[in-house]
Structure 1
Amino acid sequence: MANAPDVVLSDLQIALMRVLWLRGECSTAEVAEVLAQERGIKHTTVATMLTRLEKRGVVALRRDARQVYYVARVSESEVRRSMVSELLGSLFGGDAKALVSHLVDEAEIAPGDLEKLRKKLARGGREHE
């Protein structure tokens, strides 16, 4: 996957990318079919979004006759990391403790998950669960 430190996507772009992350290479029609069922999105909108994401380097395209296929060039974890970093910087002034405190205070983290988080922090956050 490409190095993508500044990939921030909209909700709809993430939905589109999830199709590619789950299925791998897909035609525009295949992505449009999934998003039409899930969100009522039209084929032309999906085609436009894919073209824009390709120009940004987020997806790559391959042409086969008249059919165009797309594949993700960035992983879900790269996008997640980039978007959390953006949120951390813009909303919490780079203070990770403030972000975690907010999540705990707002009950975004279930009580049972707090113990898992403590253990992960004790290990230095090295293991991916």
Structure 2
Amino acid sequence: MTAATPLKPTESELEILQILWEKGNCTVREVHEILEKNKDAGYTTTLKLMQIMSEKGLVIRDTSSKTHIYKALVNQQKTEQHLVNKMIDNVFNGSAARLVMQALGNHSASQDEIDSIKKYLDDLSKK
């Protein structure tokens, strides 16, 4: 996937990418077992999704052994940035502040998270 190609993983593909980003290289079975903990997912559905992701350039498949190993090809930070920017533009009419206020208003943040946010804002205002 080139830098100019927009990253457009589906929700299900994003769930798989999250696993690969956290765990590193995985087999379909390993990904499926993790997915199955949170939702009803069939093994063949997971396999097909990962094959499609390989075709789209989201993951790479090592076929050198009998058990194929998958690895994320897309960078987690760049993917997150792209999706957040898209959400800010499409949902919050370009307002990052509205996104932040909505997120903080709907979810409890720990004191550590609040302190980190305050520090980040202080650092931004010093620039």
TM-score (norm 2): 0.76
Counterpart contact for 1:88–1:99, Cα < 8 Å: yes
Counterpart contact for 1:4–1:82, Cα < 8 Å: no
In structure 1, stretches of 5+ residues that fail to align are none
C-alpha deviation, 1:5, in angstroms: 6.9
Question: Distance between the aligned counterparts of 1:116 and 1:14, measured in 2?
Answer: 26
C-alpha deviation, 1:26, in angstroms: 1.4
**Superposition RMSD in Å:** 2.8
C-alpha deviation, 1:4, in angstroms: 7.7
- Aligned residues, how many? 124
Structure number having the greater strand percentage: 1
Tell me, what secondary structure is at the counterpart of 1:110? coil
- 1:1-129 pair list within 5 angstroms: 3=3, 6-104=6-104, 106-108=105-107, 110=109, 112=111, 113-124=113-124
C-alpha distance after superposition, 1:3-22 (max 9, x if no partner): 48732434332221222122
Counterpart contact for 1:4–1:79, Cα < 8 Å: no
Indicate how the Cα distance of structure 1 residues 62 and 41 shifts in structure 2: closer, same or farther if over 3 A, else same: same
Question: Distance between the aligned counterparts of 2:22 and 2:109, measured in 1?
Answer: 27
C-alpha deviation, 1:91, in angstroms: 0.7
Amino acid at match of 2:88: L
TM-score (norm 1): 0.75
Indicate how the Cα distance of structure 1 residues 93 and 61 shifts in structure 2: closer, same or farther if over 3 A, else same: same
What percentage of residue pairs aligned between the two structures are identical?
21
C-alpha distance after superposition, 1:14-72 (max 9, x if no partner): 22122212221112222223323442311110111111111221111110244322100
Question: Distance between the aligned counterparts of 1:81 and 1:103, measured in 2?
Answer: 16
